Chains A and B, each alone.
Chain A
């Protein structure tokens, strides 16, 4: 406890915690739109493509302030998205292929540039290699200020364009038909994704930053059916994961922040997948169990009779799944079938159920009674 209080009082650590949590908040909010637009992979390409930009910006200005590096990162990030667009529209290569190639090429060039500058005297102190997995401890006060301002601008744009982003994400054709400038808006969304990705490079790292965009949205989707709530939940999930990742990695200097953040996010996504109020698996199972009534043996007997006459001597038995569908209403037929076997009315061979002689006449009597 004492360590924890000390920790909160520590000026550097407070910066680190605040910076990384803020990245999670902005990443979660904006990532919701990337997630719903099915552009999850695009975030991954963008973050990998920022690495050469980071190194080039450092080479050009010989400085490692976050603002300087962000400019370079955004440059190559946007260049990658533009290239994907060109390849997608001008060649017969599909979009996913273009994204795969762009990711590999840009990241490859980035790693190459990184190893080349390791020999420069200035570079050894720059710690640019930390950008691959991220190192929150490297954040200083001025970095955090830049992050707060840039992230604040992103969130204000998101609120200002809320309706536009919503309609363009749900139904771009209708948006265009209603007179919205869809091409500009879609370009704007990609630019916002690039800026948000770039914010997290130093702390979370280029390889794992895209998780900061997508995972909070994936978790949030399990809890709500409303876009506004989803953005809020994603922001909270992102912020909490960012803070937790920064705290853990700050305790040990050798722990990179990115992987810790991703582990926390993964845990939250898993919990949401199982327990989420709206679509969590546990609730889904419970609903399914409740709605699955037990079929009564007479109904199942009638269904077996109907199946038999429909197949008139060609097929002897039917698996339980077929019987269930014949009964309908996703009812559970297992117990009814067992009861029928007990009564000597039905029998099972190799998982296929069929009527016995007695069962057949009983089924015929049943249908006749129903008709009367």
Chain B
């Protein structure tokens, strides 16, 4: 196998908010084709990491490479993005189908309308996340889990090689969560890479095969089986998290 550049490579990344570091000197490699969870306590900079890669925040220092090339407007198009569900106003006058179609708005220039190929792609993504029946529903009528699935579908139609997801399971019920995990697995089977902020330490080893433990600094990153240890979790969460007192079995998968 020839050496392939990692899907994402972050070097010496430091991000500050009013002189207070939110991320400090992060070096992170995400190999192509992995499902990686970003785990850490509140305020650890998980969202900031994702936003910095997307170019939504200006880092104080450091560089980001996507598939071996500096992240710019062009490279960013190879990334699919699932922002936090609460980042938008769900009272906006539009339908489920319309929001998903936004994932294809960047194809083509002025005057371009959603064509039949876009419409088919949107319908397929809605089917993938089990939302076909709600396609024409006004988005303010959706539950939290349905909102989350709409955002996942919108990212799917981007047909990206790397997906960045900010808490994709937040507010999702257990059944939906399982079906969303199945979608992530399918992305992986297609050779795509997923980096997702994940809160639940119990399910992380079952859902993801790689992990990055983050608390302003990068505590550890690598394959779940070697990195997701009690010692590393203690280093990430300190004494604040009750979860590590009952270390999750890495064999849960």
Distance between Cα atoms of A19 and B45 in the complex (Å): 53
Contact B93 A177 (CB under 8 A): no
Which A residues between 130 and 178 are near B, CB-CB below 8 angstroms? 160-161, 163-164, 166-167, 169-171, 173-178
Contact B87 A224 (CB under 8 A): no
Contact A226 B76 (CB under 8 A): no
Contact B111 A160 (CB under 8 A): yes
Asked if A7 is an interface residue, CB under 8 A from chain B, the answer is no
> Could you tell me the distance in whole angstroms from the C-beta of B7 to the nearest C-beta in chain A?
16
Chain A residues near B94: list those with CB within 8 A: 166, 170, 225-227
Contact A169 B106 (CB under 8 A): no
> Could you tell me the distance in whole angstroms from the C-beta of A162 to the nearest C-beta in chain B?
9
Distance between Cα atoms of A39 and B188 in the complex (Å): 41
Q: A167-B105, A178-B158 are in contact. Are A221 and B81 (CB under 8 A)?
A: no
Contact B93 A176 (CB under 8 A): no
Q: What are 6 sample pairs from A and B whose C-beta atoms fall under 8 A apart?
A: A164-B105, A167-B105, A177-B76, A177-B79, A178-B103, A179-B106
Asked if B73 is an interface residue, CB under 8 A from chain A, the answer is yes
> Could you tell me the distance in whole angstroms from the C-beta of B91 to the nearest C-beta in chain A?
9
Q: Which of A170, A176, A179 contacts B99 (CB 8 A)?
A: A170
Asked if B54 is an interface residue, CB under 8 A from chain A, the answer is yes
Asked if A323 is an interface residue, CB under 8 A from chain B, the answer is no
Asked if B225 is an interface residue, CB under 8 A from chain A, the answer is no
Distance between Cα atoms of A160 and B110 in the complex (Å): 6
Distance between Cα atoms of A89 and B95 in the complex (Å): 34
Q: Which of A163, A169, A177, A226 contacts B81 (CB 8 A)?
A: A177
Distance between Cα atoms of A88 and B74 in the complex (Å): 30
Contact A225 B138 (CB under 8 A): yes
Q: Hey, what's the 0/1 contact readout for B91-125 against A, CB within 8 Å counting as 1? A: 01111000100110110001110000000000000
Distance between Cα atoms of A226 and B94 in the complex (Å): 5
Asked if A274 is an interface residue, CB under 8 A from chain B, the answer is no
Q: Hey, what's the 0/1 contact readout for B74-93 against A, CB within 8 Å counting as 1? A: 10110101010001110011
Contact B54 A171 (CB under 8 A): no
Which B residues between 140 and 161 are near A, CB-CB below 8 angstroms? 140, 154, 158
Q: Which of A167, A224, A230 contacts B102 (CB 8 A)?
A: A167
Contact B93 A226 (CB under 8 A): yes
The residue in chain B whose Cβ has the minimal distance to the Cβ of A38 is B89
Asked if B55 is an interface residue, CB under 8 A from chain A, the answer is yes
> Could you tell me the distance in whole angstroms from the C-beta of A202 to the nearest C-beta in chain B?
32
Chain B residues near A255: list those with CB within 8 A: none
Chain B residues near A225: list those with CB within 8 A: 93-95, 138, 140
Contact A179 B87 (CB under 8 A): no
Interface residues on B, range: 20 to 34
Residue of A166, A167, A173, A174 with highest tally of chain B CB at under 10 A: A174
The residue in chain B whose Cβ has the minimal distance to the Cβ of A224 is B93
Contact A179 B102 (CB under 8 A): no
Interface size on A, residues (CB 8 A): 25
Contact B81 A36 (CB under 8 A): no
Asked if B56 is an interface residue, CB under 8 A from chain A, the answer is yes
Q: Hey, what's the 0/1 contact readout for A11-39 against B, CB within 8 Å counting as 1? A: 00000000000000000000000001010
Chain B residues near A167: list those with CB within 8 A: 102, 105
Chain B residues near A171: list those with CB within 8 A: 83, 87-88, 102
Chain A residues near B102: list those with CB within 8 A: 166-167, 170-171, 174, 178
Q: Known pairs A171-B88, A173-B87, A178-B106. 4 more at Cβ < 8 A?
A: A36-B93, A163-B112, A179-B73, A179-B74
> Could you tell me the distance in whole angstroms from the C-beta of B159 to the nearest C-beta in chain A?
12
Q: A178-B81, A227-B93 are in contact. Are A173 and B110 (CB under 8 A)?
A: no
Contact B95 A179 (CB under 8 A): no
Chain B residues near A169: list those with CB within 8 A: 92
Chain B residues near A160: list those with CB within 8 A: 110-111
Q: A171-B83, A171-B87, A178-B77 are in contact. Are A163 and B105 (CB under 8 A)?
A: yes
Q: A163-B105, A170-B88, A171-B87 are in contact. Are A221 and B93 (CB under 8 A)?
A: yes
Contact B93 A174 (CB under 8 A): no
Contact A173 B83 (CB under 8 A): yes
Chain A residues near B106: list those with CB within 8 A: 178-180
Distance between Cα atoms of A171 and B110 in the complex (Å): 19
The residue in chain A whose Cβ has the minimal distance to the Cβ of B77 is A179
Q: Hey, what's the 0/1 contact readout for A176-194 against B, CB within 8 Å counting as 1? A: 1111100000000000000
Chain A residues near B105: list those with CB within 8 A: 163-164, 167, 175, 178, 180
Q: Hey, what's the 0/1 contact readout for B36-59 against A, CB within 8 Å counting as 1? A: 000000000000000100111000
Contact A170 B92 (CB under 8 A): yes
Distance between Cα atoms of A161 and B111 in the complex (Å): 8
Q: Which of A36, A163, A176 contacts B92 (CB 8 A)?
A: A36
Chain B residues near A179: list those with CB within 8 A: 73-74, 76-77, 106
Chain A residues near B76: list those with CB within 8 A: 177-179
Chain A residues near B112: list those with CB within 8 A: 163
Chain B residues near A163: list those with CB within 8 A: 105, 112
Contact B56 A177 (CB under 8 A): yes
Which A residues between 276 and 293 are near B, CB-CB below 8 angstroms? none
Chain B residues near A177: list those with CB within 8 A: 54-56, 76, 79, 81, 83
Distance between Cα atoms of A230 and B138 in the complex (Å): 14
Chain B residues near A224: list those with CB within 8 A: 93
Which A residues between 193 and 246 are near B, CB-CB below 8 angstroms? 221, 224-227, 230
